[in-house]
Amino acid sequence: MKKLITILALGLAALGFGGPSYAQGAAADAAASAPAPAAEVSAAAAATAPTTLAASAVASAPAAAAPAPVPNKGDVSWMLLSTVLVVMMAIPGLALFYGGLVRSKNMLSVLMQVFVTFSLITVLWVVYGYSLAFTEGNAFIGGFDRLFLKGVFTPNATGGEFATVATFSKGVVLPEIVFVVFQATFAAITCALIVGAFAERVKFSAVLLFVTLWFTFSYTPIAHMVWFWMGPDAYTGAEVVDAMNAKAGLIWQWGALDFAGGTVVHINAAVAGIVGAYLVGKRVGYGRESMAPHNLPLTMVGASLLWVGWFGFNAGSALEAGNSAALAFVNTFAATAAAVLAWCAAEALHKGKASMLGAASGAVAGLVAITPAAGNVGIAGALVIGAIAGVACLWGVSGLKKMLGADDTLDVFGVHGVGGIIGALLTGVFNSQALGGPGIVTDWVTGATGTNPAGTLAQLLIQAQAVGVTVLWSAVVAFIAYKVVDLTIGLRVPEDEEREGLDITSHGETAYNK
């Protein structure tokens, strides 16, 4: 614990949350290809939500006579399908993946934690989470313009007015309500990921209180810092670029690339998980008793559902049914397959045999690593990222886990932390057009693209800075949240309840009839 606190303190002092000057210089040129533009209200809905993108409305005043953009039905259909796919990733995908990995006496407890956490965060997202993450506020957090989704839909005599949000193409919009629900699934699955780090020993009530606090003070600020910007239509001329950039989230201003959540989802959740593993403590009998997974077929089924659902997660983050979605789709496919092969090969060399658990874990490692890179790298880059992630995450759940000395039950940090960091950093490398990547938007006024003018190393350093801020922010918030929970209701179940199993002691039922 002393080591953990010391590392956090030194890291905060080193970064200072200020960012080096090279990142600030790249802000006007970088297109942080993220799944989350700012809310932009159509002309029809402007009267119901006057505070959303006021700057964009003013900048667009000279073109007031032009008709408001209308959402494309193909884009809307793709985003609704992507949302359903991400829901499937969590319930039942993640739940089954985690459930198969724990002992049979804790199967239902893990399913409950994932299922109810997903439900809780969905409600909190509608109440205030979306507003804090995706409305204009400051560089760290949004405002309260969309509390209870006020202004997203307004009934009237003709059926109602729907606010719209920008995508990544000028003049292309989505109904904001579609974007809200798509992003809700991201927030919900992120919080559900954390429970794998302290599974089999934490109170159910403690899980719910912790994820509420962490979601509020870590997920929403990080999402805002990485993904909030004013949308491409706000960039009407060179004279407004600096002003529009200044309204974006801090990490977006630096020019960090995160297509679908390497920082916001995976690193964020993994750090919260490893802090929890330290603070909750090891399971009773850890290192002395067998704690092997009780049902690997369920884990394989869960991993397969995650793989399928991840196409919605990554390709859906393009926000349009177009070229960017297609690139993200094929990269998600290729990188995951490469990671499976790399993990199995490394495991066979190390242990003499490749395992089903290894193959399933390799798939998740590849999916995690390609998340920030999905639409930001070329196909060859995706294969390299997947292969590296497969080997690195195998080390993460073995060698690194021993070094850290924490009982990270389901290897949340070893896979999501290591994989997320690798993916985030390598995105900065393989985004370069010289290495087959699509590059970044160097001018949002004209839509011109190219490699970061400051060079690949500069982009890599920007990515590293984004990773560093995410790690430190999540660690500090998680530490405080765990302490608050422990001081109020307690984190851990009594030893006798842990030995009997949380299915019976926490929920009064069992997964299997004997």
pLDDT tens column, 264-309:
999 999 999 999 999 999 999 999 999 999 999 999 999 999 999 9
Instruction: Say how far apart CA 131 and CA 183 lie, in whole Å.
Output: 11
Tokens of 342: 């790399």
In one letter, which amino acid is 487?
Answer: L
pLDDT digits (tens, 9 = 90+) for 67-97: 889 999 999 999 999 999 999 999 999 999 9
In a domain, 79, yes or no: yes
Instruction: Say how far apart CA 353 and CA 84 lie, in whole Å.
Output: 37
In a domain, 76, yes or no: yes
Predicted confidence at residue 65, as pLDDT, reads 55
CATH no. for residue 247? 1.10.3430.10
Q: Is the predicted pLDDT of residue 208 greater than 60, yes or no? A: yes
Q: Which residue has the higher pLDDT, 26 or 170?
A: 170
Give the count of domains, the chain. Answer: 1
Of all residues in the chain, the percent with pLDDT exceeding 90 is: 85
In a domain, 512, yes or no: no
Predicted confidence at residue 27, as pLDDT, reads 30
The answer to whether the CB of 201 falls within 8 A of the CB of 284 is: yes
Taking residues 327-351, what's their average pLDDT? 98
Beta bridge partners of 162: 153
In a domain, 177, yes or no: yes
Peptide bond into 92 cis (omega under 30): yes
Predicted confidence at residue 8, as pLDDT, reads 47
In a domain, 289, yes or no: yes
Instruction: Say how far apart CA 217 and CA 220 lie, in whole Å.
Output: 6
Nearest partner of 213 among 514, 474, 443, 492, judged by Cα: 474
Residues 6+ apart with CB under 8 A from 142: 131, 132, 133, 134, 135, 136, 220, 224, 228
Predicted confidence at residue 198, as pLDDT, reads 98
Predicted confidence at residue 158, as pLDDT, reads 82
Helix (H) or strand (E) holding 174: strand 173-175
Confidence of residue 66 (pLDDT cuts 50, 70, 90): confident
Helix count and strand count (H, E) for the chain: 23, 6
Taking residues 200-220, what's their average pLDDT? 98
Instruction: Say how far apart CA 215 and CA 64 lie, in whole Å.
Output: 39
The sign of the dihedral angle between the CA atoms of 209, 214, 217, 223 is negative
Beta bridge partners of 440: 450
In a domain, 6, yes or no: no
Residue 93's CB: how many other CB atoms inside 10 A?
25
Instruction: Report the chain's mean pLDDT, rounded to a whole number.
Output: 89
Helix (H) or strand (E) holding 380: helix 379-396
In a domain, 208, yes or no: yes
| CB-neighbour burial class of residue 160 (10 A; exposed 0-12, middle 13-18, buried 19+) | exposed
In which domain, by residue range, is 163 found? 24-59+70-502
In a domain, 9, yes or no: no
pLDDT digits (tens, 9 = 90+) for 115-166: 999 999 999 999 999 999 999 999 999 999 999 999 999 998 888 899 999 9
